Amino acid sequence: MEKPKLPEAAEQAVTIFSDKEWWAGIATTGIKIVGIIILAVIFKYVVKATIANIFKVRLKTPLRLSERRENTLFRLLDNVASYVIYFVAILTILSEFMDIKAILAGAGVVGLAIGFGAQSLVKDIITGFFIIFENQFSVGDTVRITSFEGTVEEIGLRTTKIKSWTGELHILPNSSITEVTNFSVHNSIAVVDLSIAYEEDIDKAQKIIEEVVKNAKPNYPEMVKEPEVLGVQMLGASEVVIRVTSEVLPMTHFKIARELRKTLKYELEKAGIEIPYPKMVTYHKEQMPKEQK
């Protein structure tokens, strides 16, 4: 009996899979792809290490930028280098299967079509470029953007990442950043309001406060200037409020204010000066005896 003939497509498949040269080509292409991936990973590591070393050297030169600016540019160049290396690796791998010129020509047409449909993406990139170019804020700054407040973790060409003090990470498209409050550019002011009871000697209390703040600066390197006692700030319902201010490094005013409050309270208590607190006075009315009939 004659063997049943296979369909033409099946015969072609058998012929192809039986061809040693075809398998050799597949193996060669696979090795090339693996080699391209390995080279891309190695090259990415070398480029990132080179960028890191360049910034380390810049930190020791008199032409260095601010630390905030250095961190921002380092993160940005790191991301851009990764994108470029991956893009070149993908094009090199695709060139093993098709004509790279046709890919690039088609990419131009597709890119034009995508550009019309991805205007928000283009806006994100342009806004991100101007944020970095104008140095509006940098990595490590404490900022408020709309309703989000925290430390800038990363500034990319498309998004900005902000970490709040409670740990949440907010990722914002750059195009949505229209107003920014940066708390890390200029020095902060620590403000301490101390309440003194009306019964106490205000002049004596103020002198004690002045002596304490006069000796406080050497203990706190965050202080830029010696604290200043402004005097009576307010006359409250049950207390006289004396205000103390101190110029400190950016975003250290909360810490310094807490430390000053603690020290001043301790010294005022040592001097016997009372800090007022709510009191309640109760009057008991004696009940008159009932008249006997």
The pLDDT tens digits of the residues spanning 141-190 come to 888 988 888 888 888 778 888 998 888 899 988 888 888 888 888 888 88
Helices 67-94 and 100-117: angle between axes, nearest 10 degrees: 130
Q: Is the pLDDT of residue 3 over 50?
A: no
The mean pLDDT value for 229-250 works out to 86
Question: Any idea which architecture 127-182 has in CATH?
Answer: Roll (2.30)
Domain borders along the chain are: 8-117, 127-182, 188-270
Residue 288 has pLDDT above 80, yes or no: no
Q: What percent of the chain has pLDDT over 90?
A: 1
Place of tokens 């009996």: 1
pLDDT for 12-28, tens place per residue?
A: 555 655 666 666 667 77
- Reply yes or no on domain 8-117 having CATH 3.40.50.10420: no
3-state secondary structure the chain: CCCCCCCHHHHHHHHHHCCHHHHHHHHHHHHHHHHHHHHHHHHHHHHHHHHHHHHHHHHCCCCCCCHHHHHHHHHHHHHHHHHHHHHHHHHHHHCCCCCHHHHHHHHHHHHHHHHHHCHHHHHHHHHHHHHHHCCCCCCCCEEEECCEEEEEEEECCCEEEEECCCCCEEEEEHHHCCCEEECCCCCEEEEEEEEEECCCCHHHHHHHHHHHHHCCHHHCCCECCCCEEEEEEEECCCEEEEEEEEEECCCCHHHHHHHHHHHHHHHHHHCCCCCCCCCCCCCCCCCCCCCCC
pLDDT confidence of residue 79: 73
pLDDT attached to residue 1: 44
User: How far is 215 from 208, CA to CA, in rounded Å?
Assistant: 11
pLDDT at 18: 63
- CATH code, residues 188-270: 3.30.70.100
pLDDT of residue 113: 54
Tell me the pLDDT band of 117, cut-offs 50, 70 and 90.
low
pLDDT given at position 251: 84
